[in-house]
Amino acid sequence: MKLTETLRDRFAQALDGWVDQPQEYAQRVAPARDPRFGDYQANIAMPLEKKLGIKALEIANQLVARLKIDDLCLPPEVLPPGFINLRLRPEVLASLVQSAVVDERLGVGQVAQRLTYVIDYSSPNVAKPMHVGHIRSTVIGDSLARILRFLGHRVISDNHLGDWGTQFGMVIYGYKHFVDAAAFEAAPVAELSRLYRLVQQLISYQAAVQSRPAALELIARATEKLSMTQERAAGNKKAEKEFKAATRAVEEAEQALIDIDKKIARVQSDPLLNQLAIQHSELETRAQGETVKLHQGDPENLALWERFMPLCLSELEQVYRRLSITFDYQYGESFYHAMLEPLVERLTAAGLAKPSDGALCIFVPGFDAPMLVRKADGAFLYATTDLATIEYRQEHFQPDVMLYVVDHRQGEHFNKLFAAARTIGYGHIDMQHIAFGTVTDKEGKPYKTREGSVMGLDYLLDEAVDRAYQVVCDPERLQRANLQMSEVEQRTVSETVGLAAIKYADLCHNRTSDYVFDLNQMVQLEGNTAAYIQYSYARIANILKNAEVSPTNAWASQIGLTLAEPAERDLALNLLQFEDALWSCLDGYYPSQLTAYLYALARQFASFYDLCPVLKADTAELRASRLLLCHATGSTLKLGLSLLGIGVVDRM
């Protein structure tokens, strides 16, 4: 039963015929923020005061008189200036928990109107090492897909792989000129990754050398400006401001030169690299040339691409398998390649794409610059592929909503893309950029996986599992907890806890904020971590085991649930709010709503277990009733975690 929704309906009925849009006001019924104000609060009267020209307190009293809610709640309490506080009847609370616990969906309803969602997530650039940012997209996208499906929507997940971009030109160039055949034989993806980084380093070295004179000139100009402002600065506010800005400009210009010189030194101090840089001048253009050849169907480059792709994909697949991530489709950029030319032709014929300086553009209302769909040299762009993707998805899936779970830095791209898509006739699809912030190190800089690691991610997952092992399987801790675990079990537990730590750390932060990647903190058993919630689950499994009950539906149905203690009541109420937590995840697409709920529930359980003896309860009935609460909590934690793509273990 959707409890909140039912309460809202009752209020809407009471408001019907009295105010316009009763449903809208009824939305203001919500779980109480403070238990002193009951279980639910209805802050409806205050916003109606002006409209009805009656004092809020009077409105609240009249509303309560019209309200038919006796079957669910005790008589509502009205407090000045016009708050209405609701308290559920204990027997209602008990029966709702009891009927939820025997339902495999734990009483959670499904959407009335089933929508089709396409979710575009993970989408790494193949042949480049994957990094932490890609975890965010993968994990957020995966949990949204799980939650949406669970709530009854049709979800199509698509990994829009970057498998056709400039990185392939770089890898192909590297392979043709620098490959270490033995290394490629032994570990092909590691070698490709090395080649990518090598070419990348040489390109950025050459760019640094080229930009050095300009950087020097910038310093000279900034210094000159500084000395001018310095003379005027004394005692003059505006000039002082200018002086400060000029100082900063000099500092920035100097820093830029330092960065350039570092890049240059790294190559020049290595005779081999230095020689390569000289031999392969203008490497960027050469690598681009390889990409162009690939796109034009050059047999040699295409053969290399076809050789590299399965190797890279199987490496990616390993990471996904380990994280239990699956996709319905993995239509990478290459999949759309052949559709680009016809698409651009159609758009041009329809007058939707227009020539501009030799290129083709879609002019989008509200944007200064148009969206380029074909460059003057004939090359298509990232955005062109995205348009073709929209067209393809419309044709094959008819989505109502399309979610793009991508780094916030691509915000501009998506804004323009969505506007362009509306311009060319896809206005009926609700397209949303599900942006997320940067994963940073402790200094607040973007987190970098260890230099030299092959697939940054795989190494990171191992590392998390290792830390989890150290914390959870610490011999002293196991002894204290009286847990005898075989080495195999310890490994399984660490794997489950370690991977969960990475996922949860990502999901529990508001997705739009940056967060600090701190492996040590993520695997802790205390605080808002996956390990804490998994531990709560294992603790409950242990209680049930010690009680020698197997929590079947038959067992659960014959128990009389009593909620006499406040801690019991609070726990029951919390359990019923699982459904609200899930629905609220869809409001703006924030999985952190679910993590926050699960953390609160686990804490609520801890205080219940502190205050209310279970195995040693006074009577057999009370013992059974509390065991049922334990079981309901365990099931909710498990289902909730599973919707985040996180598993549990029975012992830890």
Closer to ligand ARG by CB, 290 or 386: give it: 386
Residue whose C-alpha is closest to residue 440's, from 448, 450, 432 = 448
Q: How far is the CB of 383 from ligand ARG (least distance, A)?
A: 9
Q: Least separation, in Å, of the C-beta of 101 and ligand ARG? A: 41
Closest to 333 measured CA to CA, from 117, 195, 126, 130:
126
For residues 337 and 651, which CB has a smaller minimum distance to ligand ARG in the complex? 337
State the DSSP code for 614: S
Residue number with CB closer to ligand ARG (242 or 386): 386
- Distance in Å, CB of 386 to ligand ARG, minimum: 5
CB nearer to ligand ARG: give 131 or 638: 131
Q: Which is nearer to ligand ARG, 410 or 490 (CB)?
A: 410
Q: Shortest distance, CB of residue 125 to ligand ARG, whole angstroms?
A: 5
Residue 195 Cβ vs ligand ARG, minimum distance, rounded to whole Å: 19
Give the residues lining the site for ligand ARG (CB under 6 A). Answer: 120, 123-125, 160, 162, 386, 389, 404, 406
Residue 446 C-beta: closest distance to ligand ARG, Å: 14
Nearest alpha carbon to residue 15 among 55, 58, 67, 53: 67
Minimum distance from residue 585 beta carbon to ligand ARG (Å)? 21
Nearest residue (CB) to ligand ARG, 120 versus 506: 120
Residue nearest to ligand ARG (CB): 162
Question: Cα-flanking dihedrals φ and ψ of residue 104, to 5°?
Answer: -65, -20
Q: Which is nearer to ligand ARG, 144 or 472 (CB)?
A: 144
**Considering the complex, what minimum distance in angstroms separates the CB of residue 407 from ligand ARG?**
6
Nearer to ligand ARG, 150 or 367 (CB): 367
Among residues 137 and 494, whose Cβ is nearest to ligand ARG? 137
Collect all residues with Cβ–Cβ distance below 8 Å to 557 and sequence separation of at least 6: 98, 102
**Minimal distance in Å, beta carbon 288 to ligand ARG?**
18
DSSP state of 234: T
Of 129, 161, 168, 160, which is closest to residue 305 (Cα–Cα)?
168
Residue 342 makes CB contacts below 8 A (sequence gap 6+) with none
Cα–Cα distances in Å, from 283 out to 123, 189, 260, 265?
27, 22, 18, 18
Q: CB 416 → ligand ARG: shortest distance, Å?
A: 12
CB of 600 to ligand ARG, least distance (A): 33
Task: Give 173 or 404: the residue with its C-beta nearer to ligand ARG.
Answer: 404
Nearer to ligand ARG, 39 or 333 (CB): 333
Cα R_g (the chain), whole angstroms: 30
CB 426 to ligand ARG: min, Å: 14
Long-range contacts formed by 386-389: CB under 8 A, 24+ apart: 386/413, 386/417, 387/343, 387/417, 387/420, 387/421, 387/424, 388/336, 388/339, 388/340, 388/343, 389/120, 389/160, 389/331, 389/336
Choose between 163 and 568: whose C-beta lies nearer to ligand ARG. 163
Choose between 339 and 600: whose C-beta lies nearer to ligand ARG. Answer: 339
Q: Where are the alpha helices (DSSP H) in 72-131?
A: 90-101
Q: Shortest gap between Cβ of 134 and ligand ARG (angstroms)?
A: 7
Strand partners, 125: 162
Contacts of 224 (CB under 8 A, 6+ apart): none
Q: Which is nearer to ligand ARG, 31 or 124 (CB)?
A: 124
DSSP 179: -
Least Cα distance to 594 among 605, 615, 578, 607 occurs for: 578
Is 125 or 157 the residue whose CB approaches ligand ARG more closely? 125
Indicate if the alpha-carbon torsion angle 483, 484, 487, 493 is positive or negative: negative
Bridge partners for 372 per DSSP: 361
Sign, CA dihedral 336-337-339-345, equals positive
b (16+ CB within 10 A) / e for 499-536: bbbbbbbbbbbebeeebebebeebbbbeebbbbbbbbb
Q: Which residues of 94-112 are buried (b: 16+ CB within 10 A; e: fewer)?
A: bebbbebbbeeebbbeeee
Q: How many CB atoms lie within 10 A of CB 198?
A: 17
Q: Is the alpha carbon torsion for 549, 552, 556, 558 positive or negative?
A: negative
Q: Least separation, in Å, of the C-beta of 500 and ligand ARG? A: 25
Among the listed residues 498, 497, 514, the one whose alpha carbon sits nearest the alpha carbon of residue 506: 514
What is the DSSP track for 235-270?
Answer: T-HHHHHHHHHHHHHHHHHHHHHHHHHHHHHHHHTS
| Cβ 164 to ligand ARG shortest distance, Å | 10
Ordered strands of the 154-158 beta sheet? 154-158, 116-120, 401-407, 430-436
Say how far apart CA 647 and CA 641 lie, in whole Å: 7
Q: Dihedral through CA 259, CA 262, CA 263, CA 264, nearest 10?
A: 120
Q: In whole angstroms, how close is the CB of 137 to ligand ARG at the nearest point?
A: 8
SS3 51: helix
